[in-house]
A and B are shown apart, each in its own frame.
Chain A
């Protein structure tokens, strides 16, 4: 059941990205190009998503389990640290370089563009690199705690 609801959620998410124009890297770049001809559309994408999200997370926050009985796994990390800052900074530089963030990257895979395959392969390599660095650090005894947002 959870697999099916997850599949549907992914499908709706992907269609949302296509409808919104987020799956078109050129449009994303024209949103990020404040000094050029600025296309403010993507601010409305965030606005629309958050408007629904606020209600959903308000309901979710009052429950210990989901409507299907799964434990609520909502992030509890509140720490604002250098790690989160530098990671987000790195992500933003990569995002602005190609106009692709992880969601649209995955959707573009489905439209079969070779460039999208190259981007996603590099993204997976970056994530694998993170896993390796973290493992090496854990072995050398440094404190590492990773939590998904």
Chain B
């Protein structure tokens, strides 16, 4: 393993993380709900009354974030290296997996670990390991073989 110190951004990573924590704190302390993005999106599909407005509002806030951010300072670069076939397969796996696993990086990774949930710890370790694994396969094993 080689650590890429030139790309290491501890201050912004920590600041961003704290903001994410503050957002999750707001949602649970004010609305009594978990800031798990896959759960918030997936919950829209059940179309239960009283479960729509807050979910849509949360997502509107997230989608509006780049716009609000760019009103103050220029947006950092966001590079999507994956091609369209990979994006489609990745999206399907993320959609299906987060619903079966009942959570993603935010629901299990941030909120679940903050609650010391063993179930969320297992989920987080599992999707991290799977992420490390597939990146190794795609960027090293396959790239070197071809």
Q: What's the dominant secondary structure at chain A's contact region?
A: helix
Say what secondary structure dominates the interface of chain B.
helix
CB pair B28–A57 under 8 Å, yes or no, is yes
Q: Report yes or no: A74 in contact with B115, Cβ–Cβ below 8 A.
A: yes
| Chain A residue, CB-CB nearest to B36 | A149
Which of A11, A83, A92, A119 is close to B62, meaning CB atoms less than 8 Å apart?
A11
Contact of B8 with A124 in the complex, beta carbons under 8 Å: no
Q: How far is B80's CA from A113's CA once the two chains are assembled, in angstroms?
A: 9
Q: Is B113 in contact with A123, judged by CB distance below 8 angstroms?
A: no
For A, the interface residue count at a CB cutoff of 8 angstroms equals 120
Residue among A10, A73, A97 facing the most chain B CB atoms (10 A cut-off) = A10
| Distance A74 CA – B120 CA, assembled complex (angstroms) | 13
Query: Interface code B121-146, partner A: CB below 8 Å = 1, 0 otherwise?
Result: 01110111111111110111000000
**CB of A140 within 8 Å of the partner chain:** no
Using known A-B contacts A57-B114, A68-B31, A75-B34, determine if residue A118 contacts B81 with beta carbons closer than 8 Å.
Answer: no
Q: Which of A10, A91, A148 makes the CB contact (< 8 A) with B94?
A: A91
Q: A129 vs B77: C-alpha distance in the bound complex, in angstroms? A: 32
Binary contact track A10-26/B, C-beta < 8 Å → 1, others 0: 11111111111111111
A contact residues around B65 at 8 Å (CB): 10-11, 13-15, 17-18, 107, 110
Are B21 and A102 touching (Cβ within 8 A)?
Answer: no
With contacts A99-B82, A108-B78, A149-B39 taken as known, whether A21 is within 8 angstroms of B12 at the C-beta atoms is yes
Taking a contact as CB atoms under 8 Å apart, the answer to whether B99 and A47 are in contact is no
Find chain B residues with CB under 8 A from A125 CB.
91-92, 95
Contacts A/B (CB < 8 Å), 6 sampled: A2-B53, A11-B61, A17-B62, A21-B12, A88-B103, A122-B92
Residues of B whose CB lies within 8 Å of any CB of A are 1-4, 7-10, 12-39, 41-43, 45-46, 53-55, 57-69, 75-82, 84, 86-115, 117-120, 122-124, 126-136, 138-140
Chain A residues packing against B (C-beta within 8 Å): 2-27, 29-30, 32-57, 59-61, 65-68, 70-75, 77-80, 83-103, 105-111, 113, 115-116, 118-131, 146-149
The 8 nearest A-B residue pairs measured at CB: A126-B95, A20-B16, A48-B17, A122-B91, A14-B65, A92-B130, A10-B61, A52-B21
